[in-house]
Structure 1
Amino acid sequence: MGTILDRLYLLKLGEIHLKGENKQEFIAYLRSSLKQRLAKLDFRLDVRDGRFYLYAPAAEDAYVSAVLSRLPGINAWAHCYSCAKELDPISELASRLLAERLAVGATSFKIEARRSDKSFPLDSYGLAREVGHRLLEAHPSVRVDVHNPDTVINIEIRERSYLYCVSEPGVRGLPVGCAGRGLLLLSGGIDSPVAGFKMISRGLALEAAYFNAYPYTSQDAWNKVANLSAVLASYGGIIRLHTVPFTEVQLAIKKFGQESCSTLYLRAAMMMAADRLCKKHRLNCIVTGESMSQVASQTAENMRFSQSFTDMAVMRPLCGTDKEEIIKDARRIGSYDISILPYADCCVLFSPKFPVIKADFQRERAAFSRLGLETLVEQAVQATEIIDITAK
């Protein structure tokens, strides 16, 4: 006997509707992403008229709900109920849904009806009026409020009738993978996980690079990055984490480079390594958590310098974002409490007291070249350890 698929979910698409002739390609990415995330379950997925209807075991509701709340490409989702396209079963189901909402304190309601099947005898307004009238008779203590109701009962007439009350918000954006696959420079701080999330929600599948400075950084610092990768994996699927051993590169910068430029040179070396990783693993861009003028390495001049060591596209989704907004987003996606754990990364440990703020491009390019870091960077890339991180 097969698994009973006794729970129905309605998934509402958003931005995908704006796509033209390639709309079906985006739907295919969303379908693939959903199947990957629910791979351990028996389920059925029907796609009709811009809606995804997902049937899954009710016993797995908590897991499925968590997946849907973190799935880029859908604007909202709801627990949904279906019945025949007849007024009596529609009204009975609506009455049951309203009773559930009254039990948790609702005192007013509104019916929103949508008749996609034009063969149904009542139009949308007529259906809403008739069902609303029946609900008032069945629940005399409740009132109709079309402007600010406590609960909204949605009725959609398609090949069957579909009813739902509470819509849960989705991530919105575009399905993972439709924008290709990029490399996130993941430091363990607050900013880079948020940058990764923002690019995931724009359809970019991610791998991540962590520059390890062991023994100057601890195993706890790596664990922190792995846990942040797991948070991102809960939105974007499996995150392939590249741990790049960068101790020798940093020691060479500290020994031979000008102290005020050490962070600048380190960022440049990281960009060199990221460039090599992207080309080695066929990734299409580099993602950073840089925000304009937040720290010394993130001025326009310094970002120009570090970016000059790659010809890959460099995405900086936080570049114009205020720090408080970034922290708010970090709390929302679940990365903040991990990011603030007191395990320093390599950038913090080797930071100069008085860093250069506006690099002279030609002068610093020449000075960096004299350090001869290319061989050390290549050795670090070749020694990189890779592990796949899944959502917890």
Structure 2
Amino acid sequence: MSSTMRSGSLNEDQHHSAYDMVLLRLGSEITVKGKNRHRFEQVLADHVRKALRPFERVVVQHTYGRLYVMLNEHPYEEVAAALRDVFGLVSFSPVKKAEAELDAIRDTALAVFRANKGPKSTFKVTVKRGWKQFPHNSMEMNHQVASHVLRETPELKVDIRNPDVELRVDIQQGAAYVYCDVEQGAGGFPYGANGKALLLLSGGIDSPVAGWLGMRKGLTLEAVHFHSYPFTSEQAKEKVVTLSKRLLHYTNGKFKLHLVPFTDIQTSFAQAGQERLIITLMRRAMLRITEMIAERESAHAIVTGDSLGQVASQTLGSMNVIGRATDLPLLRPLVMMDKVDIIRIAEQIGTYETSILPYEDCCTLFVPKSPTTNPNLESVEKAEATIDNLDEMIALAVKNTVTVVLKQDEAEKKAAETAEDRWF
């Protein structure tokens, strides 16, 4: 048995009761917002309340520049699990409240130190005295708290440069707040704080990651997926719905998936005698359709999973010509990322295992052996002009798009699943 255990470690129930509240820290991107800061904080507070809705006893308190979660004896670990995916939180800490009195602070500090689950060979104490009438200054309190912890755990050593544990005490009028754990949050901006965009969602690895990164930057997202039934299968459809449900987890409780029929357009391109340009033609048509859906849905940008140089349509020349098909801003969160980093995020957010399922989407159909990597805009536009009724087919694809609204409420999920059946 370790010396820490001998000194009186906490059982599970004691660990749960070791904390009274959680201190939530906002990202620097929010704290520098000036006059807009309150709006971002309010949106974040609303998302925290939504994430903690299953915990009936938990209360969220919002003061300028700070968010607190009052646990009211609820297990901290369960609350922490719900907080980790809330965009806008850079970190959070479980906190034990004590009376603003020396002995109470020292005893509470010892309890919080013991509740820490990480390595605890070395430590330091950092006291912040916000209430200047407290009878001991910060330096005195650092010594008072550290000596008390050392008396109860003599195997410990003080290391002020690189400690295993930093025990922090914030003394305010009427109470002191003690904590040492700091958990990393999702960071970024609160979901929906920076406007609305449409995500081109395929069944691959990249586009769900691009969507997650867009959400993390505060975008409300809706997904657009192109299918070519009967060339694409029911399994390919379910794969995209599953990816959308995973992205739903990071939203405010609702996620729209627009399912666009692309068979006629894709077949026309395949029969046009422009084999090397077919990918470029497809991508441009997809952007034109997405732009029309964006106008209908009041979205102001398009998010794609493009990563520079990864495939023929993602060379700089190809992205330039393809991007000319829309006037909306094209947001490419992955453009400078390596594939290994994209895969790491996909694994982290829970989309990777679905993305690698071997069900083809329309982007993998009719792929030429040698697609052009540096298309000429004038040549591409001339090729488009030879496609009979292309504008009409694009308008018809928008008209026949089926929109599935996914919601986290169970009853609403059943309704969404019913809507999915109308796809084919």
TM-score (norm 1): 0.92
AA at the equivalent of 2:330: V
Is the 8 Å Cα contact of residues 178 and 203 (structure 1) preserved in structure 2? yes
- Asked if the contact 1:113/1:154 (under 8 Å) is kept, the reply is yes
Q: 1:141 to 1:230 in 2, by over 3 A?
A: same
Q: Summarize the Cα distance change of 1:272–1:7 in structure 2 as closer, same or farther, 3 Å threshold.
A: farther
Q: Does 1:307 align with 2:342?
A: no
Partner of 1:3: none
TM-fit CA distance, 1:128? 2.0
Match of 1:140 in 2: 154
Alpha-carbon separation, structure 2, partners of 1:55 and 1:164? 14
Return the match for 2:336 from 295, 299, 320. 320
- Residue in 1 that maps onto 2:351: 335
Residue from 167, 170, 173 that aligns with 1:153: 167
Distance (whole Å) between structure 1 residues aligned to residue 303 and residue 161 of structure 2: 44
Match in the other structure for 1:380: 397
2:48·2:60 contact (CA, 8 Å) conserved in 1? no
Question: Cα–Cα, structure 1 residues 355 and 31, in superposed 2: closer, same or farther, change >3 Å?
Answer: same
Alpha-carbon shift at residue 61 of structure 1 (Å): 4.8
Equivalent in 31, 39, 42 of residue 17 of structure 1: 31
Q: CA deviation at 1:380?
A: 1.7
Q: Structure 1 residues 8, 352: CA separation in 2 closer, same or farther (over 3 Å shift)?
A: same
Cα offset, 1:340, TM superposition: 1.2
Structure 2 counterpart SS, 1:243: strand
Aligned match for 1:184, one of 199, 207, 214: 199
How far did residue 180 of structure 1 move? Answer: 0.5
Q: 2-side partners of 1:390 and 1:188: how far apart?
A: 20
**Cα 1:74/1:123, change in 2 over 3 Å:** farther
Matches within 5 A, 1:210-229: 210-229=225-244
Matched to 1:381, the amino acid is V
The change in CA–CA distance for 1:219 and 1:309 in structure 2 (over 3 A counts) is same
Displacement of 1:282: 0.3
List per-residue Cα deviations over 1:290-348 (Å, max 9, x = no partner): 01111101122221222222111110111111222212222222222221111111111
Identify if the C-alpha distance between structure 1 residues 64 and 381 changes in structure 2 by more than 3 Å, giving closer, same or farther. Answer: farther
- Equivalent position amino acid for 1:338 in 2: T
Does residue 283 (structure 1) correspond to residue 296 (structure 2)? The answer is: no
Structure 1 segments, 4+ long, off by >4 Å, are: 56-63
CA separation in 2, counterparts of 1:141 and 1:91?
18
Distance in 2 separating the partners of 1:124 and 1:227: 53
SS at match of 2:231: coil
1:64 to 65, 75, 79: 79
Alpha-carbon separation, structure 2, partners of 1:321 and 1:105: 34
Structure 1 pair 104–310 and aligned structure 2 pair: CA distance change class (3 A): closer
Equivalents in 2 of 1:294, 1:59: separation in Å? Answer: 47
Choose the corresponding residue for 2:69, options 51, 54, 59.
Answer: 54
Q: Does residue 36 of structure 1 match 2:50?
A: yes
Change (3 A) 1:86 1:364: same
> Higher mean Cα deviation, 287-296 or 190-199?
190-199
Kindly tell me: are residues 141 and 231 of structure 1, through their superposed partners in 2, closer, same or farther at Cα, counting changes over 3 Å? same
Tell me how far apart the structure 1 counterparts of residues 391 and 141 of structure 2 sit (CA, whole Å). Answer: 71
Residue 55 of structure 1 deviates from its aligned partner by 2.2
Deviates more, 1:250-259 or 1:52-61: 52-61
User: For the Cα contact (< 8 Å) 1:305–1:365, is it kept in 2?
Assistant: no
**Higher RCO, 1 vs 2 (CA within 8 Å, ≥6 residues apart):** 1
Shifted more, 165-174 versus 300-309: the winner is 300-309
Question: Which letter does structure 2 place at the counterpart of 1:245?
Answer: P
Report the identity percentage: 35
What displacement does 1:363 show? 1.5
Kindly tell me: are residues 132 and 350 of structure 1, through their superposed partners in 2, closer, same or farther at Cα, counting changes over 3 Å?
same
**CA shift at 1:8, angstroms?**
2.0
For the Cα contact (< 8 Å) 1:246–1:380, is it kept in 2?
yes
Shift of 1:124: 3.0
- Report the AA paired with residue 222 of structure 1: K
Q: Whole-Å Cα distance in 2 between the matches of residues 142 and 251 of structure 1?
A: 72
Aligned to 1:127: 141
SS in 1 for 2:257: strand
Distance 1:112 1:40, change over 3 A: same
The residue matched to 1:29 in structure 2 has which SS?
Answer: helix
The answer to whether the 8 Å contact 1:287/1:315 transfers is yes
- 1:155 match: secondary structure: strand
Query: Match of 1:96?
Result: 111
Q: CA deviation at 1:257?
A: 4.8
Q: Runs of 5+ in structure 2 lacking a partner?
A: 1-18, 410-424
**Unaligned 5+ residue runs, structure 1?**
1-5
> For residues 181 and 108 of structure 1, do their structure 2 counterparts lie closer, same or farther at Cα, with a shift above 3 Å needed?
same
CA distance in 2, matches of 1:297, 1:165: 49
* Alpha-carbon distance between aligned partners in 1 of 2:249 and 2:78, rounded to the nearest angstrom: 11
Aligned length: 386
3-state DSSP class of the match of 1:189? coil
* Cα separation, 1, equivalents of 2:351 and 2:137: 47
Instruction: Say if 1:343 and 1:38 are closer, same or farther in 2 by CA, change over 3 A.
Output: same
Aligned counterparts of 1:118 and 1:384: Cα–Cα separation in 2: 64
CA distance in 2, matches of 1:341, 1:117: 58
Q: How far off is 1:59 after superposition?
A: 5.0
Contact 2:38 2:64 in 1 (8 A): no
Q: d(CA) in 1 for partners of 2:119 and 2:55?
A: 34
Q: Deviations over 1:149-184 (max 9, x none)?
A: 222222222353222222111111111111101111
Q: Residue 248 of structure 1 aligns with which residue? A: 264
